[in-house]
């Protein structure tokens, strides 16, 4: 009998062996491994979620007019661009879009079979390719952490179904040259998909979307999970090239990819709320600075602030050894870098997604060592 696909272990499940070490500390384990927000959404967003009366009927797969208008208005305010609402559609958070889009594009372009993505990146880019029966090809990074298109072979370009960018990058926090990437994609007839779910937390320059460099041949992906602390509600939007967006809208309609009506109503309010995002930026920046200082002093490693995102990413010589040590001495779980590709094996990712009192608990434990 031919062996079929066997799902690999989910990366974060591999940390279970460190949990008993961390749980021995007074105050218990502090999980800094998974990037799940902990802070409260804006009260008006929660109120909209609970009072929309939108749970009775099927919501539009592409997103309600109100949702797409709100996303359009946000893009106009944030990036000073005008994207037609017909070229904006909803998705059930960004992860399902990342995981499912390769299979839909493979149906559209059966002569292509390769998904390109950053060599150090969120593991779902690779898994989405695998689930679609495509070739996942990791692209080396530039010296500044962006995806290095000069390292893509001519044969891989010819076979490329799509290329993923993630800027700010998870886990590194680095930023891509999105203008150059859009230009490369158009020159080589490779659709560029730009995952920008951390864009509100860009520290070293103004937030940027690939859509600022034209809509042709590109699709930007945005999410309210990080921006508005709505990871449990599952709302994202994708926008860009008319032909690609129209195709995905129709395919996803057949699959029944529907953001629940109450979630869409909450998303309308969330996209209109910039003030809570400003406050959240301050919270994450303070947590990043606190943990970078404490971990640098405790470990002796050089831990720089990221260019974007809410993760610390640094060379710890051996990611798994560091993760075990911080579990034993600090009572915290962190992510070994090989979760994000072989190129990150020496590194560690620390997510600053616990309340300030939990962050303080870790810092006090490490300060005693």
Q: Please compute, for residue 299, the number of CA atoms within 13 A of its CA located in the half-sphere on the CB side.
A: 25
Element housing 194 (H / E): strand 192-195
Distances (CA, A) of 38 to 70, 226, 231, 312, 350: 24, 10, 9, 17, 15
For 43-271, which CATH class? alpha beta
Triad 265, 267, 273: Cα angle to 5°: 120
Residue spans per domain, the chain: 11-41+275-367, 43-271
> How far is it, in rounded angstroms, from Cα 213 to Cα 197?
18
Consecutive 10-residue averages of pLDDT for the chain (369 residues):
81 91 94 96 96 93 98 98 98 97 98 98 97 97 95 98 98 98 98 98 97 98 98 97 98 95 98 98 98 96 97 96 96 96 93 97 89
The residue length of the chain stands at 369
> How far is it, in rounded angstroms, from Cα 169 to Cα 150?
19
pLDDT at 1: 64
Provide φ and ψ at 113, rounded to 5°. -145, 15
Q: 300: which 2 tokens? A: 């002796």
> How far is it, in rounded angstroms, from Cα 48 to Cα 224?
15
> How far is it, in rounded angstroms, from Cα 96 to Cα 196?
14
pLDDT at 223: 97
* CATH code given to domain 11-41+275-367: 3.90.1150.10
Instruction: Decide: helix, strand or coil at residue 111.
Output: coil
Instruction: Kindly report the pTM of this predicted structure.
Output: 0.96
């Amino acid at each position: 009998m031919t062996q079929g696909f066997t799902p690999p272990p989910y990366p974060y499940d591999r940390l279970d062996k460190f949990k008993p070490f961390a749980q021995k500390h007074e105050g218990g384990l502090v999980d800094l491994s998974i990037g799940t927000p902990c802070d409260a959404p804006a009260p008006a967003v929660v109120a909209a979620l609970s009072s929309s009366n939108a749970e009775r009927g099927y919501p539009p797969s592409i997103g309600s007019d109100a949702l797409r208008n709100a996303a359009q208005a946000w893009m106009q305010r944030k990036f000073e661009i005008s994207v037609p609402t017909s070229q904006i559609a909803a998705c059930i958070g960004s992860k399902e879009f990342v995981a499912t889009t390769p299979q839909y594009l493979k149906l559209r372009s059966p002569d292509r079979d390769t998904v390109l993505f950053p060599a150090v990146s969120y593991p779902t880019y690779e898994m989405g390719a695998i689930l679609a029966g495509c070739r996942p090809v990791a692209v080396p990074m530039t010296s500044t952490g962006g995806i290095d298109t000069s390292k893509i072979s001519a044969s891989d370009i010819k076979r490329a179904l799509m290329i993923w960018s993630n800027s700010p990058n998870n886990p590194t926090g680095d930023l891509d040259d999105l203008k150059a990437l859009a230009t490369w994609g158009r020159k080589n007839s490779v659709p560029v998909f730009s995952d920008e779910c951390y864009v509100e937390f860009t520290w070293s320059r103004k937030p940027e979307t690939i859509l600022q460099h034209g809509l042709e041949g590109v699709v930007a992906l945005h999410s309210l999970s990080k921006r508005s602390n709505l990871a449990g509600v599952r709302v994202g939007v994708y926008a860009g090239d008319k032909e690609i967006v129209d195709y995905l809208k129709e395919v996803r309609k057949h699959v029944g990819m529907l953001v629940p009506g109450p979630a869409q109503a909450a998303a309308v309010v969330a996209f209109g709320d910039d003030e809570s995002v400003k406050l959240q930026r301050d919270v994450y920046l303070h947590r990043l600075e606190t943990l970078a200082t404490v971990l640098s002093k405790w470990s002796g490693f050089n831990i720089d602030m990221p260019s974007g995102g809410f993760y610390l990413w640094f060379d710890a010589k051996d990611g798994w050894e560091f993760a075990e040590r911080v579990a034993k001495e600090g009572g915290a779980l962190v992510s070994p870098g090989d979760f994000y590709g072989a190129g990150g094996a020496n590194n560690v990712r620390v997510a600053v997604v616990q309340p300030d009192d939990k962050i303080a608990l870790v810092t006090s434990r490490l300060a005693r060592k």
